[in-house]
Chains A and B, each alone.
Chain A
Amino acid sequence: MENDNIIELRNVFMKFRMASQRVETLKEFVIRTLKRQLSFEDFVAVNDVSFDVKRGEVVGLIGLNGSGKSTTLKIISGILKPSSGSVVIRGKISPLIELGAGFDFDLTARENVFLNGAVLGYSKKEMLEKMDEIIEFSELHDFMDTPIKNFSSGMVARLAFAIATQIDPEILIVDEILGVGDFLFQQKCEQRINKMMSGGTTVVIVSHSIEQIERLCDRVVWLDHGKVVMIGDTHEVCAQYRNMENR
């Protein structure tokens, strides 16, 4: 039976060790063990989160700072392994967690397309086929052979977005990145995401812009202090979320 859920999170917990008590060297480890000072305190970033995303759905994650949105995204994209609970992903993911992941700033834009493609698991040949579209979308025609350390942050963002969206992933993960570039490029990004959505791509978005979430998403998950407050239809959840903000 073909399962309709492309992403399944079941009772996911994510615990971090407090940074102040971290032991980084063997020397320190031995000393602290001898002094019996080796105790740890855990911080729970994601607390018993479960939800499903269906194939082709666009799901938004909202919540205040520190509510565990980004951690959840990282768990979905496989960067973090949850401390407990299960995560099932049935498709190829293109994460846009932070722009320029896997870019080497000493290499040219063209070389970075191959590097970034390889980071996402695509061969040089596959990237070569998509090169024209990437250049077209990022509008970097004249700069493809320039080292990207000379790029403005907007140009880097354009290149990164172009690569992440042109490789036709089954799942696109977007974290707060639609705020970069000028408004024309932002519109273009939104159009692109809309096009991908109609083409059947599943999208998970994190954004602080409620308007953007309302425009793009089918369903919304509201997180607070690592716990799910509400899951449901975009307008309902967003309305509730706004109420809380106004209080």
Chain B
Amino acid sequence: MKKKIFVTVILLFFIASLAFSIYYPSRDNFSNIKNGLENKKYSIDELEFPGWYGEDGDYASMEDAQIIIKDVGTYVSSIKLSGNYTGKNTHMQIFYTTEQGEPFTPEKSKIVSWYSTGSRIYIDADIEAYSLRIDLTEQRDDELSISNIELNDRTAVFSINSIAKWCVLPTILVGIILFVALYFRGIKPYLDKFKQYMPLVTNLVSRDLKVKYRRSVLGFLWSILNPLLMALVIHTVFSRLFRFDIQYFATYYLVGSLIFNFVVECTSNALGSVISAAALIKKVYIPKYIFPFQKCVFALVNMLFGCVAVIVVMLIQGVPFHATMLLFFVPMCYAFVFAYGFGLILAAATVFFRDIQHLYSVFTAVWMYLTPIIYPEEMLLSNGLGIIMKLNPMYYYTHYLRSVVMYGTLPSLEENIMCIVFALVMLIAGNIVFKKTQDKFILHI
């Protein structure tokens, strides 16, 4: 009965929001109209085009070309460039001023995401500006001609982005809320049981810690030294051999790898947790999810040691400390929930198919290279791999932690929602898989 309600509501909501997202196709129009943003159009005569080959704005090959828009004087949510465009790898940065006569400075600039339809380029700006400068940088074969520019446009354009934003995300969120509302009372006894077995979790975690550090002289110091040495190696290699334009590269790497390695440690430990607890499972009744959960808590403890290493490197490199640093635990919580859900699936699958552990180590290697950890985030964007980045949950968690720790910025609501959605979807999927299979574990271990 509950299942029917759940499926029906979700389906109806999905259809309704899909219709909505097609009816209001571009996210820009809708929010622009709704927020009453001023719509402004500029012909090429009103713009300046420093650094362009050919005539102003008309058929230019793009290498370090700029477009300057004066007299903006409004909040700019989106920018539409109409004309002709070939290529997809352009790197765009917007500089903006807020007062008259103010020069353009790197402090007031942002790298923006954009998409093109061939005849138009849409840029997400979200800037309050007096004047704007758009820098288009170096991709050899990209060519662009511009006939006019429109700020906060209101014409409809169909896009994947708008479906994602107005249909897929809301459907998932409503699904989660509905799920909790419908099944919450069923969850209560589970929570009680979970509480009852908390001492077991702490016991197993402290046992794991003892086992991990008993035979080494430096003991717990290893957890701090290891990432420090790793950061040193990476710093040396990448500052000499491959140069990236990243300030505080060692910190950048360490913060990213901290949370990424945490998720990998959680999942790969959880993967074998049920099998290695075979002796216990065969003799006593214990809720089986305790084992993957305990491995995740263990990894969490290790990550907290790693945090010390991050602070050390930040001090050495002289990275400024921000108050937002205190929010470091938020992305960690998101990542924990995500990793636990994923760990449940892996643990259950490994009981039936032992070779999953080998496959998984290959998977994590690929995953690491697809996540911006040792290279800048823009590299994926400018290579047309932005879609992979947007679908990779680890991108959001690493980005979130870097924002609060290194850059002192607060991630937007949208980023938070993405983090939460990934975490909860994984958690629910993990629980369903684990619950369906856990009674058969004992026959296979």
**Binary interface encoding of chain A residues 107-126 relative to chain B, with 1 for a CB under 8 A from any of its CBs, else 0:** 10000001101111111100
Determine if A77 and B284 form an interchain contact, defined as CB atoms under 8 angstroms apart.
yes
Given A25-B354, A101-B283, A101-B284, is A79 in contact with B207 using a C-beta cutoff of 8 Å?
Answer: no
Determine if A79 and B284 form an interchain contact, defined as CB atoms under 8 angstroms apart.
yes
B369 contacts the other chain (CB 8 A): no
Chain B nearest Cβ from A108, distance in angstroms = 11
Complex alpha-carbon distance, A106 and B210, angstroms = 10
Complex alpha-carbon distance, A95 and B285, angstroms = 8
A35 contacts the other chain (CB 8 A): no
Residues from 115 to 139 in A contacting B, C-beta threshold 8 Å: 115, 117-124
**Chain A contacts of B444 at CB under 8 A?**
22, 24
B280 contacts the other chain (CB 8 A): yes
Given A106-B211, A118-B203, is A79 in contact with B282 using a C-beta cutoff of 8 Å?
Answer: yes
Determine if A77 and B285 form an interchain contact, defined as CB atoms under 8 angstroms apart.
yes
Complex alpha-carbon distance, A98 and B281, angstroms = 12
Given A119-B200, A122-B199, is A102 in contact with B353 using a C-beta cutoff of 8 Å?
Answer: no
A192 contacts the other chain (CB 8 A): no
B387 contacts the other chain (CB 8 A): no
Residues from 71 to 119 in A contacting B, C-beta threshold 8 Å: 77-81, 93, 95, 97-98, 101-102, 104, 106-107, 114-115, 117-119
Chain B nearest Cβ from A104, distance in angstroms = 6
Complex alpha-carbon distance, A135 and B155, angstroms = 81
Chain A nearest Cβ from B215, distance in angstroms = 11
Complex alpha-carbon distance, A78 and B275, angstroms = 18
**Chain B contacts of A107 at CB under 8 A?**
207, 210
Q: Which residue of A lies closest to B359 (CB)?
A: A26
Determine if A98 and B199 form an interchain contact, defined as CB atoms under 8 angstroms apart.
no
**Chain A contacts of B53 at CB under 8 A?**
none
A151 contacts the other chain (CB 8 A): no
Determine if B197 and A79 form an interchain contact, defined as CB atoms under 8 angstroms apart.
no
B439 contacts the other chain (CB 8 A): yes
- Among B199, B203, B285, B352, point to the contact of A79 (Cβ < 8 A): B285
Chain B nearest Cβ from A109, distance in angstroms = 15
Determine if B355 and A26 form an interchain contact, defined as CB atoms under 8 angstroms apart.
yes
B286 contacts the other chain (CB 8 A): yes
Most buried by B among A101, A121, A122: A121
Given A80-B442, A106-B211, is A24 in contact with B353 using a C-beta cutoff of 8 Å?
Answer: yes
- Please report whether the interface of chain A is mostly helix, strand, loop or mixed according to DSSP: loop
Chain B nearest Cβ from A147, distance in angstroms = 11
A29 contacts the other chain (CB 8 A): yes
Determine if A79 and B283 form an interchain contact, defined as CB atoms under 8 angstroms apart.
yes
- Among B199, B210, B279, B356, point to the contact of A124 (Cβ < 8 A): B199
Given A79-B442, A95-B283, A102-B283, is A121 in contact with B196 using a C-beta cutoff of 8 Å?
Answer: yes
Q: Which residue of B lies closest to A175 (CB)?
A: B283
Interface residues in A, total, Cβ within 8 A: 33
Complex alpha-carbon distance, A130 and B204, angstroms = 21
B366 contacts the other chain (CB 8 A): no
Complex alpha-carbon distance, A106 and B204, angstroms = 13
Chain A nearest Cβ from B41, distance in angstroms = 59
Determine if B283 and A17 form an interchain contact, defined as CB atoms under 8 angstroms apart.
no
**Chain B contacts of A114 at CB under 8 A?**
199, 203
Complex alpha-carbon distance, A43 and B352, angstroms = 19
B443 contacts the other chain (CB 8 A): yes
**Chain B contacts of A98 at CB under 8 A?**
282-283
Residues from 57 to 78 in A contacting B, C-beta threshold 8 Å: 77-78
Complex alpha-carbon distance, A104 and B191, angstroms = 27
A16 contacts the other chain (CB 8 A): yes
Determine if A101 and B279 form an interchain contact, defined as CB atoms under 8 angstroms apart.
yes
Determine if A101 and B443 form an interchain contact, defined as CB atoms under 8 angstroms apart.
no
Q: Which residue of B lies closest to A82 (CB)?
A: B439
Complex alpha-carbon distance, A25 and B357, angstroms = 10
A247 contacts the other chain (CB 8 A): no
Residues from 414 to 445 in B contacting A, C-beta threshold 8 Å: 439, 442-444
**Chain A contacts of B286 at CB under 8 A?**
119
Given A26-B356, A97-B283, A104-B207, is A117 in contact with B439 using a C-beta cutoff of 8 Å?
Answer: no
**Chain B contacts of A22 at CB under 8 A?**
444
A242 contacts the other chain (CB 8 A): no
**Chain B contacts of A93 at CB under 8 A?**
285
**Chain A contacts of B356 at CB under 8 A?**
26
Complex alpha-carbon distance, A97 and B279, angstroms = 12
Complex alpha-carbon distance, A93 and B224, angstroms = 43
Complex alpha-carbon distance, A24 and B443, angstroms = 11
Determine if A119 and B354 form an interchain contact, defined as CB atoms under 8 angstroms apart.
no
Determine if B443 and A17 form an interchain contact, defined as CB atoms under 8 angstroms apart.
yes
Determine if A118 and B283 form an interchain contact, defined as CB atoms under 8 angstroms apart.
no
**Chain B contacts of A121 at CB under 8 A?**
196-197, 199-200
Chain B nearest Cβ from A226, distance in angstroms = 16
Q: Which positions in A face B, CB cutoff 8 Å?
A: 16-17, 22-27, 29, 77-81, 93, 95, 97-98, 101-102, 104, 106-107, 114-115, 117-124
Q: With A24-B444, A115-B203, A119-B284 given, name 6 new contacts (CB 8 A).
A: A24-B352, A26-B356, A79-B283, A101-B280, A102-B283, A119-B200
Can you give 5 A-B contacts (C-beta < 8 A)?
A25-B355, A26-B355, A27-B355, A101-B283, A118-B197
